[in-house]
Structure 1
Amino acid sequence: MLANIVLRTVLKSSAGILRESGAVCSVLSAKPWTSNSALLGARVGCAAGSFAVLPPVRHYARAAKKRREGSESQLSDLPPTMLKMDYAAVPLAQTTDDIVKRLLSLELANHSEKLRLKTEQLIAKVQRDKNDRNSVEVRVAILTVKIRNFREHLQKHQKDKANKRRMLMAIDRRKKLLKNLRLVNYDAFETVCKQLGITYTFPPEYYRRATRRWLAKKAFCIKVFNEVQKQKKEERLMMKKSLASTDTGSH
């Protein structure tokens, strides 16, 4: 008896679904402006005895991603008509025709040539004399050009970890040079910061708490370092003695 009741309910529900699907099929067939894909889906649904499922809509026209506007490049003040650094002192390059001048100008120069010219311009602002190429001021100028170039590169390529590490190392070296220059010659330090547009921030005070554990660890590290230096010194003495003995034996 229970099985008969369950069978009747299943038949009634299936008959109701078939009636609803037939009504949907008749409505779709009555609309001639319906798309072919929709009619095909409706026919497949009617044949299967179920509701018609429309094909998924594919969003091909997506909005373009907005590019982040970076800061102005340090090379933007270089005019494209300026000659390259290798040809600026050649008098023949000044009197040649326009086509050759364009080939020798910065308009067709690569990025490295423009960086060289920018480096020379910053060096000329802070160098002590014309032959100065190794002073603290010149090294600060060279590091400044590198740091700004890395910064512009990282604004476009944010996941470039290697160049980010190089930029941080260059910043640390420049901080050390500026710190020493500030202690030795404050006037030169102020001139370099003003000419190169550097904002010097003072290093933070030593705020680490000197606990007993940290003091013991530091003393142990110093002791290990001294022992290693003693061993290296003894090894160098042994090497010198062995070399001296071999030289006397050969003679």
Structure 2
Amino acid sequence: MLALLARPGRAWPALLGRAQPACSPVLQAARGYARPVIKKRKDIPSHLDDLPPTMLKKDYANLPVMNSVDDVVKRLLSLEMASQKEKLKVKTQQLVEKVRRSPSDNGSFEVQVAILTAKIRTLEEHLQRHPKDKKNRRLMLMDLDRRRKMLGYLRRVNYSTFENTCRLLDIQYSPPQPYARRVTKRWLVKKALCIKVFQEKQKLKAAEKLKQRQARARAAREQQEKQVQEKEAQEGTPV
């Protein structure tokens, strides 16, 4: 009895008539596997890191009263206390200033490409931290597609502007691959059927247009004859 009381961890099960079950190696491994694993967050570099913390926010940067305010107020209105959304506004403005044609240019293709570039880089950093965020991945792919189309248009219309935009915004443009389809017997039959249906539909449309043209010509002829008859009746000449 004294021996049982000397080991309080095992005394009460023994007194109650129940033996404490021994922990098997499999159960020990399962308990170790079920422990929460604390993952270290990777330090992902951001494209907003080059913004100086003493720079004012976009809404307060051009106010003349900011030259006479206290340093504490300037610090509160600077990027040091700003959110990521406010920093993104400043970064977007910097990219737009690089490529805009004039101070009043707010809608050219170069400006739109700069705005999309800032959004795409922000979404890329977000997806590096949260790779399972499917909604933002879809938004990023849509923005990438829009930017690729705009750059393709600039490349066709004005190559020097396209090259300058890619250089200033640090964009690597890759043209889309040419579409290639494997020719199969089923595809050839389907294509022949579609062409035949299209030709028959064009014939029906041509016949319908011919009937409408003939009807309009007949109505114009009747209208002209009616006007001639009315003119002759007014002059009193026999018909």
TM-score w.r.t. length of structure 2: 0.69
Deviations 1:23-62 (A, max 9, x none): xxx9x93793x3x232323334xx35xx542578876x95
- From 74, 77, 81, the equivalent of 2:54 is 81
Give the CA deviation at 1:217. 4.7
> Hey, what's the Cα distance between the residues in 2 that align with 1:143 and 1:215?
41
> Hey, what's the Cα distance between the residues in 2 that align with 1:214 and 1:177?
33
- From 6, 17, 29, the equivalent of 2:3 is 29
1:38 is the counterpart of 2:6:
no
> Hey, what's the Cα distance between the residues in 1 that align with 2:43 and 2:12?
52
- 1:159 is paired with a residue whose SS is coil
Deviations 1:183-208 (A, max 9, x none): 22222112111111111123222222
Q: How many residues matched?
A: 194
- From 155, 159, 163, the equivalent of 1:186 is 159
Identity of aligned residues (%): 49
> Hey, what's the Cα distance between the residues in 2 that align with 1:127 and 1:213?
51
- From 73, 82, 97, the equivalent of 2:70 is 97
**Distance verdict in 2 for CA 1:179–1:216, change over 3 Å:** farther
- 2:60 is paired with a residue whose SS is coil
Give the CA deviation at 1:171. 0.5
Q: Which residue of 1 aligns with 2:21?
A: 53
- Residue type at the aligned position of 1:156: R
1:174 is the counterpart of 2:137:
no
1:156 is the counterpart of 2:129:
yes
Q: Which residue of 1 aligns with 2:217?
A: none
5 Å matches for 1:12-23? none
> Hey, what's the Cα distance between the residues in 1 that align with 2:188 and 2:168?
43
> Hey, what's the Cα distance between the residues in 1 that align with 2:185 and 2:127?
42
- From 114, 119, 122, the equivalent of 2:87 is 114
Give the CA deviation at 1:119. 0.6
> Hey, what's the Cα distance between the residues in 1 that align with 2:119 and 2:185?
42
Q: Which residue of 1 aligns with 2:187?
A: 214
Report if the CA contact (8 A) 2:52-2:79 is conserved: yes
- Residue type at the aligned position of 1:119: T
Give the CA deviation at 1:92. 1.9
1:196 is the counterpart of 2:169:
yes
> Hey, what's the Cα distance between the residues in 2 that align with 1:136 and 1:154?
26
Q: Which residue of 2 aligns with 1:10?
A: none
Deviations 1:107-162 (A, max 9, x none): 22222221111111000111111111111111110111111111122222222221
Report if the CA contact (8 A) 1:123-1:142 is conserved: yes
TM-score w.r.t. length of structure 1: 0.66
Q: Which residue of 2 aligns with 1:135?
A: 108
Give 5+ residue unaligned stretches, structure 1.
Answer: 1-25, 231-251
Q: What's the C-alpha RMSD, in Å, of the aligned pairs?
A: 3.3
Report if the CA contact (8 A) 1:87-1:104 is conserved: yes
- 1:181 is paired with a residue whose SS is helix
Give 5+ residue unaligned stretches, structure 2.
Answer: 206-239
